[in-house]
Amino acid sequence: MTKAKLAFWLGWIALLQGCMVKSSLPYEYDYSASIECLPEPLEPQYGGGVLRNADFSAGLRGWSAFGYGSIAESTSAAGNGFAVALNRTRPYQSVSQKVYLQADTHYTLSAWLQVSDGGADVRAVVKTVGDFVHAGGGVAKAGCWSMLKGGLTAASSGPAELYFESNATVDLWVDSVSLKPFSKDEWTAHRAESVSAARKKAVRLQATDSAGNPLEGAAVSLDAVRTNFPLGAAVSRYILTNSAYQTWFASRFAVATFENEMKWYSTEPAPGQEDYTVPDAMMAFAKSNGIAVRGHNVFWDQPSQQPRWVQSLPYPQLLAAASRRIRSVVSRYAGQVIGWDVVNENLHFNFYEGRFGWDASTAFYAAARLLDAGSALMFMNEFNTVEQPGDMAALPARYLQRLQQIIAAYPENGAGMAIGLEGHFTTNPNIPYMRAALDTLAQAGIPVWLTEGCYVMCLTDNSFNNLPQGDVVDRLIAEWRATPRAGSTDAQGYFEAELVHGEYKVTVSHPALNSSISRSVKVELGSGSDHYFIDMQV
């Protein structure tokens, strides 16, 4: 008897991008932010939250002068009312409002600011019982309104007062202020929704026979091959000789950044004596384990972090040395790294700008792109932009200003630029401020990476046993990794699942088939439907 032949069709259909169920939370988190200076401010987010008269439509009702200053009501030519802090002689003299904070609650903050002349850094501060909490900062200008977005977490319940401060003694204009509370459960729910929208896709698989009839009860398994989420960590030269270190790292991370081994003082400790032995070996280890590498770094603007022989070089010799350095390191690893920290920490430091001029960083980025013309991202790597709202030098607005300077002076730099945010977090990071800073930076429309963590082995002990922090990272990895799924098709031959972006091995078996069949499919970002059809003769 001739064996019957069945044609097995496997249809992989993307249903939708993002959440499968619309949120039922009373308030969505407002991810919007503005990096434009506008003629008039936008309406306050969340209607002002817990603040009264947030848009000053009722004059100064609910608002007071802070720091023995004086405030007045003013109106724009378009009829918009706002508050003005007048005749300021102290940084803290401004408009304020008293509120009552609830313990263990996240508060997101926003405000629109303007100054009477020039430009000024402005910080939002919440005065609590016994403390002054920095909640965010921005750059206010004369002639237009700028948005400040920040936040804080209340450590305890009690009275508080929101105000603004600036070292500039210009008049400070304030409008459309908001302070919106979220419980931690609400915050977590918003995070989960964001994860589903950005990192997951609902998919449907259909199994049919050669005649197009659905196969009910087909067994389906989805095994994760790899996730698309680029989670990494710093790695040191000690990984080359420590097998436990190698196993621990390679089993967790998809991206590595060399701690010091690629930096100039490591590869050229004396003039003309280059040695890439260690970073070459580390690169080989990464490649053999499928780990991508970020190039860290080409230059570091901090004076104390230059090779000793570089620090005192006169201009001509420094220019020659810097030119040799960028050609050497970028050319050597071009096409092998996924990104370069071209100039590290050039908001806080200016070693090269001080010697070559204000556009030194622009020239370095242009040179790096010419030397590595592939797809590597070119990062501007900086600390305190996302983790310290009190550092006025590294505010998101300051970061974006510097980024724009680098691009404006040489527009070709705009291709492949990326934002690198060093995560030098303290024991209790300001979660609402972090999210607000990311909201602001995201307006640049380029990739944003968190790039550094603590300065010591903070995830494991010396035997690579997890510390509590390591357990947190492992839970995060487990959350992001594409976990295996299994089930069976329904009466119409369908099987549905919500999966994180990544590559999967799909295996299907059915009593009508002599054997199971497997195919590799990818779940990727995109709003359109992706179809994967497999025709197997058995």
Catalytic residue positions, numbered: 345, 452
* Cα gap 127→161, rounded to integer Å: 5
Contact 117, 88 (CB under 8 A): no
User: What letter would DSSP give residue 41?
Assistant: P
Which residue carries 């004596």 as its tokens?
Answer: 273
- How many angstroms separate the CA atoms of 54 and 57, rounded? 8
Distances (CA, A) of 513 to 5, 186, 263, 485, 493: 9, 48, 58, 21, 14
Q: What is the C-alpha to C-alpha distance for residues 451 and 390, in angstroms, rounded to an integer?
A: 20
One-character DSSP codes across 418-435: EEEEE----SS--HHHHH
Describe the strand order of the beta sheet including 119-128 as a list of residue ranges: 64-66, 94-101, 158-165, 119-128, 131-141
Give which of 96, 103, 153 is closest to 436, Cα–Cα.
153
> Per the structure block, which two tokens stand in for 394?
């590294």
Please state, in angstroms and rounded to a whole number, the distance separating the CA atoms of residues 163 and 97.
7
- Say whether the peptide bond before residue 297 is cis (omega within 30 degrees of 0): yes
Distance CA 226, CA 157 (A): 45
> 85 phi and psi, to 5 degrees?
-90, 115
Alpha helices in 242-314 (DSSP H): 243-250, 264-267, 277-288, 308-311
**Neighbouring C-alpha atoms within 13 Å toward the C-beta of 147:** 24
Distances (CA, A) of 297 to 329, 331, 375: 9, 13, 17
- Nearest-CA neighbor of 497 among 189, 198, 200, 199? 200
Residue 333 neighbours by CB under 8 Å, 6+ apart: 262, 279, 283, 293, 295, 372
